[in-house]
Structure 1
Amino acid sequence: MTARGWLLFSLMGVIWGIPYLMIKVAVDEVSPSMVVFARCAVGALLLLPLAIRQGGLWLTIRTHWRPMLAFACIEIMGPWFTLTDAERHLSSSTAGLLIAGVPIVGVVAARYFGDTEHLGTRRIAGLLIGLAGVGVLTVPHLTGGDARSLGEVLLTVIGYATAPLIAARRLKDVPTLQLIAPCLTLATIVYAPAAAATWPASMPSSGALLSLLALGVLCTAVAFVAFLELIKEIGPTRSTVITYVNPAVAVAAGALFLDERFTATIGVSFALILAGSVLATMASAPKGSADPDPVPVRPARQWLRRGADPRPERDEAGAR
């Protein structure tokens, strides 16, 4: 990857490694609908004025409203609620382990979207090594959960794996702000009635309020701008590998700021996650000859029957 790709990848690995803790703090005092509404509203308030200032926002919405609606539903409105609701019963480590399945699901989903990105043995091995690292990191800390919560996280995984494919194939020409700002605005409107109906009877604690604010500013507004740029830079399949780094970041934050123990098991998991991420994000080596676009060989008799010049066909631009 380019230096810019690695910078965005590292940034997303950190930013989306901390929402699990913030969601856990907030959902203890407010409803899941309120959590989703708050983070979407804060993100929309920050990004919508910037998107309008760019100009052409309404034309963009009219032209691309169908894939934008699909992206909003699959990436934001559905997964954010199911993940938040699941964390009322699941530990953050359990959620992190399950969310780490996003790259694997993304590889499978990409086949149905006509993905032409080659996945060699090295990248597939990287995906599996990274998943093993997350397993080493989180399995010792797993706690229980019911079938509904596990199903909700599974739906979140499917959404997180599919939405980047939609963005890369149907929305790649849409400016980042003009994609995410309308999606967050729509999610805010959709969740406003449920948030109003479950409004807390008393003012939440400062910890819950700060968690909601950080979810909106850092984990939504800043994160989505960086994530969509990451998709454009390295592609949708490799961009989902950040879900391997996120649980490791959560453990590192605990060790640094909460005096949690950094054990040998955590060290091994870090090594596996880092190695898996590097391998899974590497570009695959070209197969066969150095010519990436070979001319198909046609029998001489076929050229003669057609009365054609037996030379490679060219389009209007003169390219093969």
Structure 2
Amino acid sequence: MMKQTSISPLAWALMALLALIWGGSFPSNRLALAEVGVLTTVAFRVALGALLMWGVVALRGITRPRGLRVWAGFLGMGLLNNALPFTLIVWGQTRIDSGLAAILNAATAVLGVAVAAAVFRDERLGLRKGAGVLLGFTGVAVAIGIGALARFDPGSLGQLAVLGAALSYAFAGALGRVTTRGMAPELAAAGMLTAAALVMVPAALLVEGPPPLHLAPATWGALAYLAVFATAGAYVLYYRVMQLAGAGNLSLVTLLVAPVAIVIGAVMFHEALPLRAYLGFALLAAGLIVIDGRALRYWRPAQKSRDPAAGQG
């Protein structure tokens, strides 16, 4: 059995910082939408993020890729991991609160496990992971609310859009396993963001026209935050945490992002989520814990040590 990478205090601190950064992206989307359209918000984020990531690639002396096959992979990743999910999340936030969007986006980890199991033979669910996925899906259904799905009002569409973004991230994870294997992560991030920008910038100009330049400072701040911190900075930090704690431990960040977004949304916009949203998140978090499995392994020995038949007393 593969040994799980232990998490150092530095890794915990960086994971908390990453969760804080990503949690702040949801209220930043809401701020930007006050003056800028959905497509323009996403285009600004991926275009500036791409420029910053190419700067990172140049500073680290990473060789740039050549060949149509590599850039075809970047295009697929840029669409599934950036252009489509960013657009769906931002559009969804025109109809639902930031905190609820973050909770539904947490389904990415559960959907990622389900998609990997469907695509790769070595990623079969098994009983434990299957139970975790089912628990996670139950949490999503509770957070949305059966009544909301039955009504299919604009709020319901917003929730489904964010879930669509989570599904897109899940497929991006599967595609990335094939297209970016062995590639420097900074280069993969720069390439996919560039591909996303080549799609989103023309789309934004065509649909929403040239962006207004006389924006409020808060709007410029939100756009800059999305590109500099929530995209380029988060990518660099993400891969640093992966080096320190391992890919498996990064799923823990998913559990931290939603509470951050909920708190910021409540403070900045006085958002008040229904009780079912918190209950749904609790079930979703429980599903992720079951999928991860480490907590169960820690719990079982503790149970055994308390068993009188185990020689205690």
The amino acid that maps onto 1:72 is G
1:105-254 correspondence runs (5 A): 105-114=111-120, 116-117=122-123, 119=125, 145=154, 148-197=157-206, 198-201=209-212, 203-228=214-239, 234-235=246-247, 239-240=250-251, 242-254=253-265
Higher alpha-carbon Rg: 1
The amino acid that maps onto 1:224 is Y
Secondary structure of the residue aligned to 1:73 is helix
Matched, 1:42 2:48: yes
| Root-mean-square deviation (Å) | 3.9
My pick for the range that moved more, 83-92 or 114-123, is 114-123
How far residue 35 of structure 1 moved from its aligned partner, in angstroms, is: 0.5
Query: Match of 1:301?
Result: none
Secondary structure of the residue aligned to 2:23 is coil
How far residue 210 of structure 1 moved from its aligned partner, in angstroms, is: 0.5
Q: Give distance in 1, aligned partners of 2:155 and 2:124.
A: 38
Query: Match of 2:6?
Result: 2
| Structure with the larger helix share | 2
Contact residue 15 and residue 219 of structure 1 kept, 8 A: yes
Q: Give distance in 2, aligned partners of 1:270 and 1:89.
A: 19
My pick for the range that moved more, 22-31 or 159-168, is 159-168
Contact residue 102 and residue 261 of structure 2 kept, 8 A: no
Secondary structure of the residue aligned to 2:215 is coil
Query: Match of 1:89?
Result: 95
Query: Match of 2:22?
Result: 16
How far residue 133 of structure 1 moved from its aligned partner, in angstroms, is: 7.0
**Identity among equivalent pairs (%):** 25
The amino acid that maps onto 1:223 is A
Secondary structure of the residue aligned to 1:59 is coil
Query: Match of 1:289?
Result: none
Q: Give distance in 1, aligned partners of 2:237 and 2:133.
A: 22
Contact residue 30 and residue 98 of structure 2 kept, 8 A: yes
The amino acid that maps onto 2:26 is Y
TM-score of the superposition, structure 1-length normalised?
0.70
Contact residue 176 and residue 229 of structure 1 kept, 8 A: no
